[in-house]
Structure 1
Amino acid sequence: MRVRPILILGIDVISENPKKFAVVSWFNGRLERKGEFTLYRLIRFIQSKRPEMVAVDSVTELGEDLRKFLRALPSGTKLVQVTGRPGEQRSLQSLAKEHGIRAGDRFDPYEEARLSALLASRGVGYEVLAFEDEVIIKVTRGRSHGKGGWSQDRYRKRVHNLVRDKVREIEDRLRRADIPFDLETEERDYGLARGEFRVYAAREELAGLIRPARGGDVEVKIQPVERAELGFAPLKGEEAIRERRSIIVGIDPGITVGIAAIDLNGRIVALHSQRNMPIGEVFRFISEVGHPVIVATDVSPAPGFVEKIARSFKANLFVPRESLRVQDKNELLRDLGITVEDDHQRDALAAAYKAYLRLKPKLEHVDARLREAGLTKKSDEVKALVIQGYNLGEAMQKVALRERPRAEEKPEEVMRQGPDVEQYLRRIRELERRIEFLERENQELKGIIREQRKTIGRLERKLVDYDEEIRRKILRERELEAKVKRIEMLERELREAKSVIERLSRDLVQVKRMNVVEIRGSAVPLKVMEVLSWRELERIERDIGIRRGDILFVVNPAGAGKAIAEELVEKGILALITEKPVPEPVAEVLREAHVPFFTSEELDVKRVDEFAVVERETLERAIDGLLEKWRLEDEEREVERMLRLVEEYRLERKKELKRKAEEEGHRKV
């Protein structure tokens, strides 16, 4: 019984600019209109609810945002095009009618979203596939080593050792989970500068097994491999499986992938090589050629890429006892009398043909038996079954049973011919020979197993000795590393302590000088503010208070405005001293209120931490001078204003007299 998904979202476009979607949810058979969503809000909603499916009548409605939308879908959520794959799409209304669903207004986006959700809940539609069943895992250092001497070299070596340990950890986890992969590493400082895994599994298979990591000494990035073109897979496996010929496939993995296919008679049927070919494209290419019964490689042990393909096709994996040499590959190609375009095609073809040569005696024996039994037309099917592990008699019987319905179409003819005893006798003799052959093969294999067990025991003893040596080496390295870290920490603490001592010594000298000046009564203490802001003003009022006649010292007045300047004037401060020039609005308010303001350079302010003083004589002289300057400027402005008023009065009087003279002249006329 098919388990219905818990939550399905049906969506349809309401408007294009800005793009908005109508959203309807299907939850355990209950429909609910969720409302109108922008693309950003829709993605956030999907990520929070994590539905089983997001159903749409056509993915083209997402336009240029389709790839972005697919990348944002949470793990386990499918995007479904309910109207079918491209080129074979049907209307929502016809599909609804076929499945007994009442359809409403076809121009209503919410109605279209409702139909999409209902059809998806019944398993109608095609899942949109954006990613290959392939993941890239990159392990690198997390932060720059920087420049430096011996300490930086030790740190760099430590990070490279951590990268190596993380690569080994991921490798061990993948092997324990029986997930095929290929690994490329870059060695550095007896460790690894980087490691890159090409894992032949979907991202979901790695959930809880490998986790990304950022911010530390080692970073782990997990990147699914996107398909060059979107794929479409039916929600129900309703597509009929076509009968395809059986083939032997050789694969040379790498940056450029080489593929070679030969049939079970040793004839070449396909040769191909392509740079950066994802595993999904390899599957599709092989499937178009035929059905592989053997997937072969030219190296030992087999790469994870080749293991993944063999497992996916449920084919036998052929691995040579030792990696094929270039000389052996060239000799195989000379025997075939064929030239190839590159080394990748050569390696793939050599692997496939080597596998064929290993099976050739068995396949020729099968051909001979089939000629005797009159089943030569079904040679490929019988050979494929034999390769899969069936004995010849069982394979012939399976093929004969497949043909039985055709024989049953003519029962009268069969009855007239009578039973074919000779066929059964041949079968018995064949089975007896097969039993003898298997018994001999069994004895040989037992001998091989005994030898292999001896070899394994010897290698295990060597491995134990090697592990013990490595363990001692690691313990020495860790002990040395701990001592180096301790030394680095103590050196850092010593540098910091020296810096603090130097700063405190300077401050102490300055404080002594300030105390002497203050005792003599020739210094004025200042109230220090780091910035000229409301929060800082509240702090200093809370801690020490601000009284009329105080002098404030502000380290950084940038960003202050008229309001806070007016507040200072209201509080009645005597003067304002800053390290940097005050902003123009503050200067205008202080100038208008005749509150002097200076920079620390003008008054030679002495400051230590939260304390600052200025010489009384210097301060009073500066204040008197500035106030006198402002008084003169105010008098000048007042004189200018009076002169301007007199001039304006004179001009107005002149205009008035002229107007009266004109009126007098008009009366005389």
Structure 2
Amino acid sequence: MPPPTFLQNPQRVRPILILGVDVISEHPKRFAVVSWFNGRLERKGEFTLYRLIRFIQSKRPDIVAMDSITELGDDLRKFLRALPSGTKLVQVTGRPGEQRSLQSLAREHGIRTFDRFDPYEEAKLSALLASKGVGYEVLAFEDEVIIRVTRGRSHGKGGWSQDRYRKRVHNLVRDKVREIEESLRRADIPFDLETEEKDYGLAKGEFKVYASREELAGLIRPMRGGDVEVRIQPVERAELGFAPLKGEEAVMGRKSIIVGIDPGITVGIAAIDLSGNIVALHSQRNMPVGEVFRFISEIGHPVIVATDVKPAPGFVEKIARSFKASLFVPRESLRVEEKNELLRNLGISVDDDHQRDALAAAYKAYLRLKPKLEHVEARLREAGLSRKADEVKALVIQGYNLGEAMQRVTLRERPREEEEHEEGPSFDVRPYIRRIRELERRIEFLERENAELREVIKEQKRVIGRLERRIADYDEEIRRKVLRERELEAKVKRIEVLEKQLREAKAVIERLGRDLVQVKRMNVVEIRGSAVPLKVMNVLSWRELERLEREIGIKRGDVLFVVNPAGAGRAIAEELVEKGIKALITEKPLPGPVRNVLREAHVPFFTGDELDVKRVDEFAVVERETLERAIEELLARWEEEDREREAERLLRLVEEYRIERVKELRRKAEEEARAEHRKA
């Protein structure tokens, strides 16, 4: 069957680098250094304390081993502070008050000794013993770190400009505190936070983080030289502690297990062995990260750390990296029903949901590996290596093929050959030998000092070149980041525009829905014949009239509805009369010229309020009975008015005729009188 796909980046056990250190002379203080890497010893030379610290910081070894840390004298604390993250200082001879000699420890662990007065020989023994897990780690720091966020430079004195700068810096401090707080929460690292508010921002913030500085490596970065400073300070122990060293062999000797973890306020932990048996089941509220590590370490060595959700929480990923274990993530988050089914198959009850989730994650990982593990077990029975089944299974899970794993376990089982030990001299020549060798080494050191300094200069030039290349790469990365941010900003703006259009479209759809209901009602009324449809014009203009003609058409007997007739004149009113409309209804009063034309042509006109017109956008109706009655009444009133006007006109004509006749008779009488007078 194909190999399982859930193991993320399976890696083989990483070879460790150990530096053995022994003092050569006190004044000036010089040290002999021997390195142990993957079983190979190499003499590194003689170092001052300053050069030794720089060498350790550049090589970043896993262990710096010494027979006694008192050889560092007053520089011990300074040396411990300078160690890189992940580098342990180990005293191989034991904790203070229980120390043993290097030679006795070497004989006990089958290491051949030679000249015990040679500092390089003692440095070599320290490295070899540390590689076998012998010794005690020197603990100088608590599993706590103080992170201080403050302003980077003084505000100085000034006016309005200086006040704006101070407020800006306090806002930057607040933003940096929020950024660190969010990073710690995402990594599930517990902490306490104290802040000092100022200018609607923060003057400073201080985190007390309950984790080691190794856990914060790469998560929180110190900052100096700008407007905001971030300082990371491990909490030193009042007294040095000593913890037994668990070397590579000690880790290999522990029981291999599969660990399931449910992170949160209450942490759930479950462990099963590679045969599917439950080893441990535990849950605890507010369980510190260090305590989780110690709890798992006491059970065994995890080869797989599993979670029940996808994607994996940062807390679970961190524990997997710390143990160099493979991470199991299900293809999709496990459902509650599936978890309960897994526990029923195991035939076990749990105290709470956190234990259930952790155990379900571990058992799900085991079931995914079970076919492969059963195949390995069958092959081991055939080869007669059933006793070492767990070791071989662990190596196979870590990425070795079955043949390589069986070979490593077989070689580890070979008995060690007894080594011969040489007796030391019967008389004390140590002071003389030490002095002679010290002088020889000093001469050798002075001869190569110049060469080493030249190498340092070359190395610095290489570092400068590398940093210049990194700066160029960083500039390119910043440019790409800016382009990505611009692209993202454009997409965000596009989304905002589309969301606005969507909201507007929804509003239109809602309004049209209401209009459609009203139109349906109007259509029903129209079909029944109880209403008259009106042809709607927004304004009484030639352009609007042409649009109505083009889209709907105007025929004789139509009733028009005009929203705003203001500004219309006699010409357009005469056009409507020419088209033979039955009536004109307006929302606002008609202009005088239009009213006169329609009145003269006996075309009725009304306002919408008089007839109770029902209108939806481009549609309007009026009840037929109401319209007909209003038209009849208006035409009757106009006819009565016309009769009255005609009667008045006739009376005026008669009166005008009578007056003219009287005038004519008077004029004739006067003419006759003048004629008779002339005759007389």
* TM-score w.r.t. length of structure 2: 0.38
* Bigger RCO (CA 8 Å, 6+ sep): 2
* TM-score w.r.t. length of structure 1: 0.39
